[in-house]
Structure 1
């Protein structure tokens, strides 16, 4: 069998609301991003002028707090928002590939940090899966599943578009 498009997903994130949620104590976003995602976003934000302290406070783990995270021009929030859009778009693409079948992972048991956006040395994004998400994608779509991703942020929104390619006719 030749590879075929099995699913597509798209998601948009409103930056102001995301930045405000990012700064809330106990937010689900505190654990939604892998260490690699937080580091890459922090590095990109620092390259665009966010100070190390502010970027680190918002990107590094469950105790992240900030009082200025609602700033829509915050580069760190912009990069994290785009990665959140990728996570949502991955789930949508995978779900469309499984149309008519129950989800292999209950939504409340999904570990969001197992869906990562990683960038190469030139900033080009790719999707890397880990843990139970990787196991279930392999079981339901095939070991050779490939993900194609495009993400952007402009104005007050971040957007991601994901295509899932796998064996079969979809």
Structure 2
């Protein structure tokens, strides 16, 4: 692909505050993650020998918000994915500087921005639905998302770079 950096986004999530938000009834986080994201987080948690807090049931937050993030490895993994979602929106927004957002913030479907990992745990961004259509319309079909995700202490951080051909 011939192009360059069109936008950069970074986001940090406090793991304790995130876990507490997951425990709140009616939280927006209950529906923010795709089935694939939830499954990959449960699998990653199980592979590390930690209890998923009942999240395998798949209903609501499925016990995701129990205790502090240090006590809830599943919330820790989901917090990283939330940071990626926020960083994607920031990178896309930077690419559209000076233009109105193509999707109103209150109409954005967070499940349409997914963090998926390959067999070795390397994260990538996968878009679907209206988000994918609007990204293609605003920055091009060849948009590429580079993502780095990390946890340190009580924080998850994501850094996203949006590469796409120069605007015409």
Q: Determine if the TM-score, normalized by the shorter chain, exceeds 0.5.
A: yes
Q: Give the structure-2-normalised TM-score.
A: 0.93
Are 2:143 and 1:145 aligned?
yes
Where do 1:1-170 residues align within 5 Å?
2-52=2-52, 54-56=54-56, 60-62=58-60, 64-65=62-63, 68-168=66-166
Contact 1:149/1:162 (CA < 8 Å) preserved in 2? yes
Which 4+ residue blocks in structure 1 deviate beyond 4 angstroms? Answer: none
Cα–Cα, structure 1 residues 36 and 67, in superposed 2: closer, same or farther, change >3 Å? Answer: closer
Structure 1 residue runs without a partner (length 5+): none
Q: CA distance change for structure 1 residues 35 and 3 in 2, over 3 Å: closer, same or farther? A: same
Question: Bigger shift: 41-50 or 113-122?
Answer: 41-50
- In 2: Cα distance, 1:157 partner to 1:63 partner: 20
Separation in 1, partners of 2:17, 2:131: 27
* 1:129-166, Cα deviation, whole Å (9 max, x unpaired): 00000000000000000000000111000000000000
So what's the TM-score if we normalise by structure 1? 0.92
Root-mean-square deviation (Å):
1.8
Cα distance change on mapping 1:150 and 1:61 into 2, 3 Å: farther
**Deviation string, structure 1 residues 52-75 (Cα, Å, up to 9, x no partner):** 553425xx3435345624242421
Structure 2: 5+ residue stretches without partners? none
Determine helix, strand or coil for the equivalent of 1:72: helix
Asked whether the equivalents of residues 33 and 112 of structure 1 are also in contact (C-alpha less than 8 Å), the reply is: yes
